[in-house]
Amino acid sequence: MDTPFTGRAMDRSDGPLKVCGQARYAAEFTLPRMVHARLVLSTVPSGRLQRIDTRAAQAVPGVLLVMTHENAPRLPKGGKAAVEPPAGRVLSLLQDDEVHYNGEPIALVVAETLEQCSEAAQQLVVTYASPSTPAALDFEQARRTAHAPKEVQRQKPDTSRGDVAAGLQAASQVVSATYTTPVEHHNPMEPHATMASWNGEKLTLYDATQYVSGVRDTVAKTMGISPEQVRVVNPYVGGGFGCKGSAWSHVVLAALAAQRVGRPVRLVLERPQMFGPVGNRPHTEQVLSLGADAQGRLTALRHEVASETSVMEDWVEPSSLCTRMLYACDNVVTTQRLVKLNIATPTFTRAPGEATGTFALDSALDELSYALRIDPLEMRLRNHAERDAHKNLPYSSKSLRECYRVGAERFGWARRDPRPQAMRDGRWQVGWGMATATYPTNRSPAQALAQLLPDGTAVVQCGSQDLGTGTYTIMTQVAADALGLPPQRVRFELGDSAMPKAPVSGGSQTAASVAPAVRGACTALRERLVALAVADGNSPLHGQRADAVTASDGWLRLTADPKRGEPMAAVLARQGGQAIEAHSESKPGPEREQFSMHAFGAVFTEVHVDADLGQIRVPRIVGAYGIGRLLNEKTGHSQLMGGIVWGVGLALMEETWRDPRNGRFVNANLADYHVPVNADIGTIDTLVVPEDDPHVNPLGAKGIGEIGITGVGAALANAVFHATGKRIRDLPITLDKLL
């Protein structure tokens, strides 16, 4: 039997288009008579719009429209018809004069050229009426009125099992500490961009999004039109990381502006506006209390999370979720609280909750291991959870012990001197740290369409998205195996809401959701072709049983006699030369009620800290992961490596500064918002341990887009402590905190 294409380290099928500049992103589509738009954002954190003087702006040559709350079209339910948090957001659509945060959309300018548009936007004169109460910008002050959200990703905000108080009292050692993570912003290379075009009552949106079907449904519902009247196109995404998972205000505003001017409108957010109305990772404050007996086994665990949200809606950074299931402990309490501020609503940011939560949890566990004089890796092994105690379910599969073993072996953990500040390399203090990685395995319904063309090639479609993760390539491999075609003869298409529906490309679920639908459609198509062949009197396979026929390399052959067969195209030629097709829908079954489904991993890091200057270097990171079946070894490594790089940014660099006087972000650009670059990254070694999981989905594949970032923050913080003897509990770890 031929070796399957799925799992191979196949080059990206979309790679040549990208390196040749032929892959078109949302802002690169053009239409006849297209014009440009620019958002105008508020400069105060709260209040009302007393007046917007548009006279100077309208006098700029080429200006076609200055849209404000005074002349914007009225929308059903004040523009809130599609609000279903956390994905369907409360948008700012110029429906009233209220200002909720600094950086909120308050106007839209449309002009013939981008330059005219930018000039006119600067000519607007805005007068604000002061609010009756001061804006809420102080987290500590506002947390006095913190409240519990209704739910946290379909779970209760507060959980409790056992008796934490008794567990802490019985412990030989207790660690209690507070850990904080800052506001962070996604900075994909491609900014948010939308082009809106109307043809009668039909709207087409070329939008930079992680969810073409979601944008279609949200825009339609917000504007009070049928989803069938809206088409969203997005074949390539230049990075998203969560910020493009929802339809934001600029998308609907572009559609309204195009409707008003009667021409296609392109709206691209400027880089500083990427720090405005399109979400971010919120600030968190996490209080951990851990108790353990003399052997290092946890007797109690309390995790209290407070995170910021906007006054417009609740959005939860679910940092407590991993604590509920990651380690074995009979006595666990977790709480989630929200602190309302006059800020933009936060949103999904790569591994929301798990990235921030594992930093706090695994830092605290590291502190406990030092207090007990137990090796940090041994500490985790002694508290390995054999089942999910929170859900009271077995794991569908779990290779964490093997991840610990192979990761430690590759890293050389056994050579570590356990004493802080004991390892040096000249003037550099050397530290080794480790932590656990985890991310839930998600899956949603998805549909696919497969067509076999008369020339023997195939086209497979699914209205999914490729954020650069390799979806085009992976689905081509899956389709090729199911059809019995070489990948070069399969064209996979996505990025269009007119195609069969797929879920959001978020929550690391695209491969796990779309691949089963693609395989199902291609399998059905192959079976239909075989049925045509065995029923055809002119086929060399006539009269054979369908299950005795194999599809391989574009041929149908008798399994017992491979010389007996014919090309797939020949079957179609005798059927009139018409394409044939098949549809499929794949969706989860009852397995989620029977198993707890997670990917796991172990992260080992080495840091060098300049003893005099406090500078931190990261020469190497080893990550070992149990992620089910890896669908492409090459793109899989890329995803895990990219997640680890994000973890370096989380731990050492990324932080958005908000002016406490006016709520304005002061480093809203790529010069002052620091992200890792090549010079910051040393050797990254990723290992995937063999893992068979028949329960998560028909292919046994777990999502890998986000697990890579989890655990890295804690592993680096733990390594910094090992190097310096200084425990930094507030991210990012910068030299001023070490000196």
What's the average model confidence in pLDDT over 199-219? 98
**Is it the case that residue 55 has pLDDT exceeding 70?**
yes
* 79 half-sphere exposure, CB direction, 13 A CA radius: 21
The CATH 3.30.365.10 portion of the chain extends over 31-132+189-239+244-275, 284-442+593-738, 444-587
User: What H or E segment, with its residue span, contains residue 16?
Assistant: helix 15-19
3-state secondary structure of 562: strand
Name residues whose C-beta falls within 8 Å of residue 15's C-beta, 6 or more positions apart in sequence. Answer: none
pLDDT score at 2: 73
Show which residues are catalytic: 706
Percent of the chain with pLDDT over 70: 100
**Is it the case that residue 576 has pLDDT exceeding 90?**
yes
- Cα-Cα-Cα-Cα torsion 408, 414, 415, 419, nearest 10 degrees, comes to 100
What's the average model confidence in pLDDT over 217-223? 97
pLDDT score at 87: 77
**Is it the case that residue 536 has pLDDT exceeding 80?**
yes
pLDDT score at 60: 98
Pick the CATH number of 31-132+189-239+244-275 from 3.30.365.10, 3.30.70.1340, 3.40.50.720, 3.40.50.300: 3.30.365.10
pLDDT score at 447: 98
**Which pair of tokens denotes residue 140?**
């500590």
In tens, the pLDDT along 382-391 reads 999 999 999 9
pLDDT score at 627: 98
- Cα separation, 179 vs 650, in Å, equals 14
User: What is the pTM (predicted TM-score) of this model?
Assistant: 0.97
Q: Which CATH class is domain 444-587?
A: alpha beta
What's the average model confidence in pLDDT over 395-420? 98
**Is it the case that residue 173 has pLDDT exceeding 90?**
yes
pLDDT score at 216: 98
**Is it the case that residue 105 has pLDDT exceeding 60?**
yes
In tens, the pLDDT along 548-567 reads 999 999 999 999 999 999 99
Name residues whose C-beta falls within 8 Å of residue 156's C-beta, 6 or more positions apart in sequence. Answer: none
Exposed/middle/buried for residue 228 (C-beta within 10 Å: 0-12, 13-18, 19+): exposed
In tens, the pLDDT along 362-377 reads 999 999 999 999 999 9
**Is it the case that residue 1 has pLDDT exceeding 70?**
no
In tens, the pLDDT along 613-637 reads 999 999 999 999 999 999 999 999 9
Nearest Cα residue to 301 out of 90, 477, 93, 160: 160
At 102, is the pLDDT very low, low, confident or very high (cuts 50, 70, 90)?
very high
Other CB atoms within 10 Å distance of the CB of residue 709 = 30
Exposed/middle/buried for residue 417 (C-beta within 10 Å: 0-12, 13-18, 19+): exposed
Q: Are 364 and 286 in contact (CB under 8 A)?
A: no
* 728 half-sphere exposure, CB direction, 13 A CA radius: 27
Is the Cα torsion angle 723, 729, 730, 732 positive or negative in sign?
A: positive
pLDDT score at 92: 98
At 85, is the pLDDT very low, low, confident or very high (cuts 50, 70, 90)?
confident
What's the average model confidence in pLDDT over 78-105? 94
Output the average pLDDT for the chain. Answer: 97
In tens, the pLDDT along 267-277 reads 999 999 999 99
In tens, the pLDDT along 23-39 reads 999 999 999 999 999 99
Does 3.30.365.10 match the CATH number of domain 284-442+593-738? yes
- Cα separation, 374 vs 173, in Å, equals 12
pLDDT score at 373: 98
In tens, the pLDDT along 128-158 reads 999 989 999 999 999 999 999 999 999 999 9
pLDDT score at 88: 86
User: How wide is the angle at C-alpha 725 spanned by C-alphas 723 and 728, nearest 5°?
Assistant: 95
At 93, is the pLDDT very low, low, confident or very high (cuts 50, 70, 90)?
very high
What's the average model confidence in pLDDT over 413-440? 98
At 529, is the pLDDT very low, low, confident or very high (cuts 50, 70, 90)?
very high
**Which pair of tokens denotes residue 484?**
């019995």
DSSP for 619-668? EEEEEEEE-BS-SBHHHHHHHHHHHHHHHHHHHHT----B-TTT--BS--
